[in-house]
Amino acid sequence: MNDVFMHAATTLENDFVKKWKSEGKCVVGYTCSYVPDEILHSAGILPYRIRGYGAGDTAIGDTYFGPFICSLPRCMLQLAGEGKFAFLDGAIITPGCDSMRRLDECWRKAGKDIPGSMPKFHFHYGVPHKYADYTVKWFFDETHRFISEMEKHFSVKVDDGKLRYSIKLYNESRKLLEEFEKLRSADEPPFSGSEALAVIIAGGAMPREEYNRCLKEFIDNARKSKGIADRVRVMLVGSANDDVELVRLIEGSNALVVADNLCFGTRLYEDMVEESGDPVFNLAKRYLAHNECPRRYGDYRRRLEILRQKTARAKVDGIILQNIRFCDLHGAENGLFERDLEKEGIPCMRIEREYGPLVEKGRLKMRVDAFIERIRQKRREIA
């Protein structure tokens, strides 16, 4: 069953997407976890998390962005310019950060220059930087604007009944992923961190009913599997990472990623959407409230406490705080995390890296190996 998730996580137009398209149905991509999948699902559209995975270079991305910006949106634009997102019927861009906000502008310009590089439906979905009653109301209104534009373009109708069904279905996923997370952070986890990442990423590239069915089977098989023991237990924190190979590099033969606080990770599924009341309001409230992203103003102490809780729950030996180069949000916050967590005796390592084809694997492996050895040495001294 892991092969199913690994395929979906390491192939842009995977077999599930191809089958969906062959049936004449639409696929709409989105760049950020603030977008409610349930709305697209309720309209009979496949929600698809846009990634930069598989970009061989960034020549097109550099042309529109310039080189001194996060390499994730550059890789996304590279793939769009190469026609790798031709299967998308729409794209939703959110201002998760300034680099991602610029993806909206740059993709629109590239769409004029490179025929077929931009889907016909292209929507900028605004997201507030604070959580309060008035920002939930604003996001509620923005969500209605998105629904209206989607209904008009795709000739579909989103009603409360369909939305409630989709909310219930996605809440079922979240409950399954809670069970998955317990297995992942067990004393002897039955699967690696790279396998765990593939399971999570696949959720943004598969029909939800099929995903839930496969996830149930994966969990059932994992409960019967032999656990992985005698590894240094690591938590991965920071910028978006959808690269299974990067986690494999971090784990090597001595470490195991047993927890994370990533955009492509537990942030996606840590809490439920209320199932009673106005479904659009409930979606706006949950998607604005749940996200632990550093783009949220005045919320650092809460995010630090979440890391403390995850560290204790998963019995983490050390934390790798990674950020993509030029990511000011995670780069700055990782420095604060390192300062505060090291004071509490939790070993931390900060890594600044590139995304996709620019990753310097040799340098990363050397630094990670040194960090793992630091933790193992600490263990020997205690023993």
The band of 357, judged by pLDDT with boundaries at 50, 70 and 90, is low
Cβ-Cβ contacts under 8 Å for 142 (sequence gap 6 or more):
125, 126, 127, 284
Domain boundaries, the chain: 12-156
Q: Is the pLDDT of residue 1 over 70?
A: no
CB atoms closer than 10 angstroms to residue 209: 12
pLDDT at position 380 is 76
pTM to 2 decimals? 0.94
Structure tokens given for 154 = 């795709």
Exposure class string for 117-148: b at 16+ Cβ within 10 A, else e: bbbebbbbbebbeebeeebbebbbebbeebbe
> Which run of H or of E encompasses 232?
strand 232-238
Domain at 12-156: CATH code: 3.40.50.11890
pLDDT digits (tens, 9 = 90+) for 90-130: 999 999 888 999 999 999 999 999 999 999 999 999 999 99
| Residue where the block lists tokens 């008009």 | 152
pLDDT at position 360 is 80
pLDDT at position 238 is 92
- Give the angle 303-140-152 at the CA atoms, nearest 5°: 130
Average pLDDT over the chain reads 93
Q: Is the pLDDT of residue 317 over 60?
A: yes
pLDDT digits (tens, 9 = 90+) for 213-228: 999 999 999 999 999 9
The band of 257, judged by pLDDT with boundaries at 50, 70 and 90, is very high
